[in-house]
Structure 1
Amino acid sequence: MEAGGNEISRLSEEVLASILSRTSPPDAGRCAAVSRAFLAAADSDVVWSCFLPRDLPRLAEGVLPHAPLSKKGLFRCLSDQPALLPGNLSMWLDKKTGAMCYMLSARSKHISWGETIDYWERIKLGSDEIQANNSFCEAAQLRGVWWLLIRGEIHSTMLSPNSKYAAYMVFKLADEFFNLDFPFQEASTSVGGIDDSTRQVCLQAYIEDGDAEDVMLPRKRADGWMEVELGEFYNGEGCDSEVSVCLKETEGGVWKTGLIVWGIEIRTKK
């Protein structure tokens, strides 16, 4: 591929950069191994400016290094780990598409009775948990309620257009917990007040054989937390609406305790 007479060597870096900017971040990385000409083009700001979102949100102070980053360096920084934003949010970029993904902290969400110490309390996370995720330092722990209602909202303009998203609640169970397995919780997502999906979930993930059909169960993450998918939606071009994510159980009339909520992640779904 490095022979002087090959066709690639005849193309200018500007032309190669224009070609690569129409691919994807992983494709640009693979093309960099083709030749020195592709390597130079694949590292250029022209290419990575196309992979970065047009309107990045304002980052919290101190998130980025003081030295200016190249466009490729900025993309890698924002795709390797979440960056804190003002307002109890964090954001990162999808490595494959560059789409913006978010986590809404427990403090940024509406939790019914969440400010009443008899029902919910704020707990500090360990330094290892904070460092592993570069995210929020606290979570909300359920002391006990008769009915559960957790809702998070984000404006669609903060998300990448023409992208399919899913919302996940990130949580743990305390050493003592009960009545989070039945009745099942109801999860829903809506865009502009119109429900995109509604489903049943089971946070306690203890279901008798034969009772798990059509019920979404949690899975354990690499960071030690659990997550359960609450719903999915499509963010179209020019969408200008509130996206709402809700988890509730308000009809069972049973006392529930032991849920630790870290946040709600909204990330792209293939």
Structure 2
Amino acid sequence: MAGISSIGVLPEDCISAILSLTTPTDAGKLSLVSSTFRSAAESDVVWSRFLPRNYAEIMAVSDIAGELPLCSKREAFFRLCSPILIDGGKKSFELERFSGKICYTLSARELAITWSSDPLCWSWKSDPQSRFAEVAELRASSWVEIHGRTRTGRLSPNTLYGAYLVVKISEKGYGLDLMPAQVCVQLGDALQSSQGSVWLRRKEQSNLKMESLFYGNRRERAIKLLASDLGEDFDSNGIRDLRERDDGWSEIELGEFFTGEDDEHLTMSFLETKGFQLKSGLVVQAIQIRPKH
């Protein structure tokens, strides 16, 4: 406490400058030390460091542009900790509450989905559990290819990020458990890339036995074909699964990357093109890009 007491004798603007070098969580905890710390921790000097430089422009073109003006930068920070829609409602922006890092989401309409304009292959519809106006549902196709593209300048610099495809499987879904999908994240000119494989669905052992009676080892041959494409390091036992979220959706980790100070191209991909089996029932909401911890 001797250190805190000695800092407490500093002018409030000096304390604000010190707190601005911490994190939003630290500033909140230190505001409990004394009334001087509380006043310093609520100042615009502190919270302007936690906000993106262009936060005002982002808010001005978002779905909250018509809301009442915010009284302080601290208030603006916590408003941005809840997602806001930008770019005509096709993207989402928010700040991570405890770090202030940017989270960025591309809706299905912002993704390049092969044959998504063909109503025989994909349908576009609303979903009450989606933050966006439309989601894309796979009707019938043997080829699923999804790409998302943006720039790292829209994210926080010097941060480890993960990219996640946000999906769910409809009750009538089928053909999604023959082959694992290939996923990839590429930064810049392929100087930094992350690759992997994921199951949309896992077959139960009883179903595997029944399938082998009708199709022989078709599934095993397809996985070996995928392994030959990915190289010797491919391990079918290390294929990831969908991970359930708290919002009624599931997510697939496409890969991770580290942002530097430069503004680079970012490409994120999901491919299931090797199984040659008709598939249906995959519902795509978005690709979310958020910090990893």
TM-score (norm 2): 0.83
- Give the alignment partner of residue 245 of structure 1, picking from 264, 268, 282: 268
Q: Equivalents in 1 of 2:266, 2:251: separation in Å?
A: 19
Given that 2:181 and 2:197 are in contact with CA atoms closer than 8 Å, whether structure 1 keeps it comes out as yes
The one-letter amino acid paired with 1:241 is E
Q: Tell me how far 1:52 sits from its aligned partner.
A: 0.9
Structure 1: gaps spanning 5 or more residues: none
Where relative contact order (Cα < 8 A, 6+ residues apart) is larger, the structure is: 2
Given that 2:102 and 2:290 are in contact with CA atoms closer than 8 Å, whether structure 1 keeps it comes out as yes
Q: Tell me how far 1:66 sits from its aligned partner.
A: 2.0
Cα deviation, 1:180-238, whole Å, max 9, x if unaligned, reads 122110000001141511100111244659x9621111111111111111100111112
The percent of aligned pairs where both chains have the same amino acid is: 37
* Structure number having the greater helix percentage: 2
Task: Say if 2:189 is the partner of 1:165.
Answer: no
The one-letter amino acid paired with 1:100 is I
Q: Secondary structure at the match of 1:228?
A: strand
Segment drifting more, 65-74 vs 101-110: 65-74
Partner of 2:195: 198
Given that 2:63 and 2:85 are in contact with CA atoms closer than 8 Å, whether structure 1 keeps it comes out as no
Partner of 2:146: 150
Q: State the Cα RMSD in Å.
A: 1.9
Task: Say if 2:251 is the partner of 1:227.
Answer: yes
Q: Equivalents in 1 of 2:87, 2:49: separation in Å?
A: 25
Q: Equivalents in 1 of 2:164, 2:188: separation in Å?
A: 19
Q: Tell me how far 1:178 sits from its aligned partner.
A: 1.4
- Give the alignment partner of residue 115 of structure 2, picking from 113, 116, 120: 113
Q: Secondary structure at the match of 2:46?
A: helix
Q: Equivalents in 2 of 1:9, 1:69: separation in Å?
A: 27
Q: 1:184 to 1:207 in 2, by over 3 A?
A: farther
Q: Tell me how far 1:9 sits from its aligned partner.
A: 4.0
Q: Equivalents in 2 of 1:168, 1:237: separation in Å?
A: 23
The one-letter amino acid paired with 2:58 is R
The one-letter amino acid paired with 1:35 is S
Cα deviation, 1:26-51, whole Å, max 9, x if unaligned, reads 00000010000000000000000011
Counterpart mapping for 1:54-203 below 5 A: 54-56=53-55, 58-59=58-59, 60-64=61-65, 65-79=67-81, 81-87=82-88, 88-126=90-128, 129-130=129-130, 135-194=131-190, 196-203=193-200
Structure 2: gaps spanning 5 or more residues: 209-234
